[in-house]
Structure 1
Amino acid sequence: MAFTLTVNGKVDTDCNVTEQEIRTSTPGRKSKELIIQLDDVIGIETNESEFSTSTNQSKTTKPKCLCKVHYIKRKKTVWKQETLSVTGQAEECQRFISQLQPNFKKVYDTRPKRLLVLVNPISGGRYGQSNSKKIVPLFELAGIACDVKVSDRAKHFIEMVSEYDFTTVDGIVVFGGDGSFSEVLGSLLRVTHEKAGLDYNDMNGPLTSNSVPIGIIPSGTGNGISVAQYGNYDTVTAALHIIKGNTRKIPLMAEYCEDELVGYATVVSAYGLFADMMYETDQKRWMRRARYIVMPIYSIFFKTQRLFEAEITLTGSQLCKPDDEEGKTKEETISGEFSMVAFFPAKVFGMTEGEVLVLIFRRTPSSHFFRLMLNMMKSEVVREEDFPTLTIRQPNSVRVKVNPKDLGENDFLNYLLNIDGEIHTMKKADLTVKSIPDAVNVFSSLHLYPYPDSQHSVSTTESTSPTGACAADT
């Protein structure tokens, strides 16, 4: 149905409303058309008091807004809130709203109505509180009620999640960084398994996905999970993804030691250098945010690398063993001294779902670490022939069995594990990492994970060099 209205100050604007979209056409020599999909409408505000007092707005006075349509405007992966302000004849505007609201209600009915909002006030630069004050009103504008809870101590999120009745909400939103998200997710998955009568410590048992979707508003130092879910670190973009209510499943890495779950990782996990570095960074809290720049530079460029002896066993169908049957599960063992073993969900780099991307570092020059990190940040291809001390594999599971060295007062370093930026202590230096596809239900409207416009960042199969991914280790 067509209407003639004043939209954003442009008089005699033609408006059409259908079940899918709002279409406006501005008159003039350079006619401009705007199309808003109803699925991108955030909310509709009406000036009821003006409708009840006036049927026709005077041309001699500044017209009052009768209706505001808040919607999503996209620029690549960044989403922003825009507003369509409607003035003019109250009767015509009323007919426009009467046509628009029933169509939008069909969209609104599919979206979350109530969210549990968990705020970490000390994450990153202490942005959790300020971001929540900015974003929660946006949720409310979209007609979403928020049960806001602020953590006041370490591991408080674990208590909140374990005690909460999730039948009362349609999702969880975390204001924090990767560590906060992992803490909430780990607690939620444990609760989900217990309610299903499953043992989450059984690495060979089934894993059930969380029924309550999770979203994150990036407010921490490390916000890799936000990039995976929304394509960037923008807080408004994250909120708008959650408002739309679309969900998808992302992979997970479950990590075990001594028949006990250590934790779940969605971005990265590491034993060795990165775990040591994260521990030392956490000890320098007096440096505030600067520690996240200073300590990595110190650890990589100025500190002698700590090497550990380990036997690394990889299992999976993607391991390059030409004599084996295609698709058959294969096993490979790599032994020696290493500075770090890092694990990523392979799908993060556009690889096969259900596998772990394993980067195995021997004594590695600082320049190689720096160049490797730059390549991965830019989503550029990483090949073994470019990094002689690096071994790349793509198994379904990996076991790292360490022969601990006597480190004196630093002996605890033998048992540290970095999971999504948080330090965990293992009972024994014996770690098993398993990839679990489609394990986590998250709010996201992205269809690719997470680099829609880039090539694969790590090459494990195309190397032609003797030091390539399929070559034997020396």
Structure 2
Amino acid sequence: MPYVLTANGKADSDCIVSERELRITTQGGKSKELTIALDDVIGIETNDIELNASINQSKTTKPKWLCKVHYITRKKLVWKQNTLCVTGQVEECRRFLSDLQLHFQKVCGQRPKRLLVLVNPISGGRYGQSNSRRILPLFELARITCDVKVSERAKHFEEMVSEYDLTTVDGIVIFGGDGSFSEVLARLLRVTHQKAGLNYNDMNGPFTSNTIPIGVIPSGTGNGISVTQYGHYDTVTAALHVIKGNTVKIPLMAEYCDDELLGYATVVTCYGLFADMMYYTDKQRWMRRARYAVMPFYMMFLKSQRLFDAEITLTGSQLSAADDTEGSKKEEKLAGEFSLVAFFPAKAFGVTEGEVLTLIFRRTPKSHFFRLIVKMMKREMLTEEDFPTLTIRQPSSVRIKVNPRDLGDNNFLNYLMNIDGEIHTMKKADVRVKLLSDAVNVFSSLHLYPDPDSQSPASTTASKSPSEACASDN
């Protein structure tokens, strides 16, 4: 039986609550309907003073709202907060609110209740704290308690993760970029292995994935992990994914050198051109954010390519090899001069099979780099036909053994590795990269919406929404 209330300024609206959704139908010359999936409800706000009134109110004295239903709306991969304002007779509204809260509690039982929130105040354009001030009220609206910690110095996140009792929280949320995420994840995985009595430096030893989910509110210069998790850089979208509480596991690339763990990457790891580029970009901090546009252009289109002599060994079941015995460990070797070896998540290039792409460039014309950047920005699939100097593989592990050349004052370039935008220096020019499937637990509902133009059966829909006099978008 519907509750007859006023919804978003439209009187005599039929409000029907079911186990999965709230349906609002406004009466009049032209009927309008709004359906809100309860799984998309962020939180329910009540006007307790008015609801506790001892007498029923007439239509002329009723308040502007007795309860507000904050919910998610979508436009492709961008999520926003919207608000439905409900008022009417107090007793009728009280019964409606009790019914709505009862059903809402059943669908949000698995959502996070308490989060450790880490804020990097100097990430990117110093957006960490401003974004936290804007987003934290959303978590409060969803009744999520946040223990907020602000980084005060380099590697401070590592100390926080090592010392914090993570059994007291349901997840970690980071206001920062790819570097902040990598710092937290690397320390978290090391701590996890130490507690399990495992040696994280052993490439062939057992690996334990992180169990506590991690979310990132994109606030850095590089926000590739946000695209991986949410399909977008939008901060509100990221926060709403965390609030819904769904999690997925994404692959990880682990880098080892001289029998020691060098680092973990979820977005990109590379040797050669992109590592050199990141090193020189970081040296031009006087240019501020402009350096991230100027230096890549200079390195790819104005500066001559630095080639390195290497033997690259790829191992995995998806490789072509002479031994095609089922279950055999296939191996492929490439030798010669190269300009770049890079590893990216396959989905970043529209590839659905496999998890990580290995891109191996020999001497490459500058025009090819321009086309490469365009395809990367459009997330289009790369093919060897488009780039004759490119070899594309999907191995489970790779070894890059470099014969270091004498580069004079720049000899250090032989030992640089770019891991998720951070430069790591190797003891020797011999690195191994291993793919770890389902290694990182992250907040994301993206797997529930594989087609950006489609929505799940439980998502919010509306033929024509009621007047949005009380609606708000963040």
Q: TM class, shorter-chain normalised?
A: over 0.9
Quote the residue 1:447 is aligned against. Answer: 447
The structure-2 alpha-carbon separation of the partners of 1:322 and 1:248, relative to structure 1 and needing over 3 Å to count, comes to: same
2:405 paired with 1:409: no
Rounded Cα–Cα distance in structure 1 between residues aligned with 2:323 and 2:146: 58
Quote the residue 1:82 is aligned against. Answer: 82
Rounded Cα–Cα distance in structure 1 between residues aligned with 2:10 and 2:269: 54
* Residue 323 (structure 1) shift: 5.6
Quote the residue 1:99 is aligned against. Answer: 99
* Residue 450 (structure 1) shift: 8.3
Q: Is the 8 A contact 1:384 1:392 kept in 2?
A: yes
Quote the residue 1:267 is aligned against. Answer: 267
Rounded Cα–Cα distance in structure 2 between residues aligned with 1:279 and 1:233: 24
Rounded Cα–Cα distance in structure 2 between residues aligned with 1:39 and 1:143: 15
2:351 paired with 1:350: yes
Q: Is the 8 A contact 1:54 1:90 kept in 2?
A: no
* Residue 288 (structure 1) shift: 1.0
Q: Is the 8 A contact 1:231 1:450 kept in 2?
A: no
Letter in 1 for 2:315: T
* Residue 306 (structure 1) shift: 1.0
Letter in 1 for 2:351: G
Quote the residue 1:466 is aligned against. Answer: none
Q: Is the 8 A contact 1:319 1:394 kept in 2?
A: yes
Quote the residue 2:363 is aligned against. Answer: 363
2:183 paired with 1:179: no
2:329 paired with 1:329: yes
Q: Is the 8 A contact 1:223 1:233 kept in 2?
A: yes
SS of residue in 2 equivalent to 1:239: helix
2:246 paired with 1:233: no
Letter in 2 for 1:53: A
Quote the residue 2:372 is aligned against. Answer: 372
Q: Is the 8 A contact 1:227 1:450 kept in 2?
A: no
Rounded Cα–Cα distance in structure 1 between residues aligned with 2:74 and 2:449: 18
SS of residue in 2 equivalent to 1:332: strand
Rounded Cα–Cα distance in structure 1 between residues aligned with 2:369 and 2:378: 14
The structure-2 alpha-carbon separation of the partners of 1:132 and 1:226, relative to structure 1 and needing over 3 Å to count, comes to: same
Rounded Cα–Cα distance in structure 2 between residues aligned with 1:350 and 1:386: 16
Rounded Cα–Cα distance in structure 2 between residues aligned with 1:30 and 1:132: 42
Letter in 1 for 2:379: S
The Cα offsets for residues 177-224 of structure 1, whole Å up to 9 and x where unpaired, read as 111111111111111111111111110011111111000001111111
**Normalization by structure 2: what TM-score?**
0.92
The structure-2 alpha-carbon separation of the partners of 1:388 and 1:139, relative to structure 1 and needing over 3 Å to count, comes to: same
The Cα offsets for residues 220-242 of structure 1, whole Å up to 9 and x where unpaired, read as 11111111111111100100000
Q: Is the 8 A contact 1:396 1:434 kept in 2?
A: yes
Q: Is the 8 A contact 2:43 2:142 kept in 1?
A: yes
Quote the residue 2:133 is aligned against. Answer: 133
Q: Is the 8 A contact 2:351 2:381 kept in 1?
A: no
Unaligned runs of 5+ in 2: 454-474
Rounded Cα–Cα distance in structure 2 between residues aligned with 1:364 and 1:103: 59
* Residue 360 (structure 1) shift: 0.8
Q: Is the 8 A contact 1:192 1:208 kept in 2?
A: yes
The structure-2 alpha-carbon separation of the partners of 1:163 and 1:30, relative to structure 1 and needing over 3 Å to count, comes to: same
Quote the residue 2:463 is aligned against. Answer: none
Quote the residue 1:116 is aligned against. Answer: 116
Letter in 2 for 1:55: I
Letter in 1 for 2:38: L
**Equivalence map 1:305-344=2 (5 Å):** 305-321=305-321, 324-344=324-344
Quote the residue 1:472 is aligned against. Answer: none
Quote the residue 2:381 is aligned against. Answer: 381
Rounded Cα–Cα distance in structure 2 between residues aligned with 1:107 and 1:177: 31
Q: Is the 8 A contact 1:161 1:188 kept in 2?
A: yes
Quote the residue 1:467 is aligned against. Answer: none
SS of residue in 2 equivalent to 1:202: coil
Quote the residue 2:461 is aligned against. Answer: none
**Equivalence map 1:8-27=2 (5 Å):** 8-27=8-27
* Residue 110 (structure 1) shift: 1.4
The structure-2 alpha-carbon separation of the partners of 1:444 and 1:176, relative to structure 1 and needing over 3 Å to count, comes to: same
Letter in 2 for 1:441: N
Quote the residue 1:429 is aligned against. Answer: 429
The structure-2 alpha-carbon separation of the partners of 1:167 and 1:436, relative to structure 1 and needing over 3 Å to count, comes to: same
SS of residue in 2 equivalent to 1:384: coil
**Normalization by structure 1: what TM-score?**
0.92
Quote the residue 1:438 is aligned against. Answer: 438
Letter in 1 for 2:185: L
* Residue 322 (structure 1) shift: 5.7
Quote the residue 2:459 is aligned against. Answer: none
Letter in 1 for 2:224: G
SS of residue in 2 equivalent to 1:386: coil
Letter in 2 for 1:116: L
* Residue 404 (structure 1) shift: 0.9
Q: Is the 8 A contact 2:76 2:452 kept in 1?
A: no
Rounded Cα–Cα distance in structure 1 between residues aligned with 2:322 and 2:197: 42
Q: Is the 8 A contact 1:229 1:450 kept in 2?
A: no
**What number of residue pairs does the alignment pair up?**
453
* Residue 125 (structure 1) shift: 1.1
The Cα offsets for residues 269-328 of structure 1, whole Å up to 9 and x where unpaired, read as 110110110011111111111110011001111111111111100111111236623542
SS of residue in 2 equivalent to 1:200: coil
Quote the residue 2:7 is aligned against. Answer: 7
The Cα offsets for residues 393-450 of structure 1, whole Å up to 9 and x where unpaired, read as 1111000001111112211111111011111111111100000110000000111798
Q: Is the 8 A contact 1:229 1:443 kept in 2?
A: yes
Letter in 1 for 2:328: K
Letter in 2 for 1:68: K
The structure-2 alpha-carbon separation of the partners of 1:449 and 1:299, relative to structure 1 and needing over 3 Å to count, comes to: farther
The structure-2 alpha-carbon separation of the partners of 1:382 and 1:346, relative to structure 1 and needing over 3 Å to count, comes to: closer
Q: Is the 8 A contact 2:323 2:330 kept in 1?
A: no
Relative contact order (alpha carbons < 8 A, sep ≥ 6): 1 or 2 greater?
A: 2
Rounded Cα–Cα distance in structure 2 between residues aligned with 1:248 and 1:381: 24
The Cα offsets for residues 107-165 of structure 1, whole Å up to 9 and x where unpaired, read as 33211010000111111111111000011110011000001111111111111111111
* Identity rate, percent: 76
Rounded Cα–Cα distance in structure 1 between residues aligned with 2:273 and 2:32: 56
* Residue 60 (structure 1) shift: 3.3
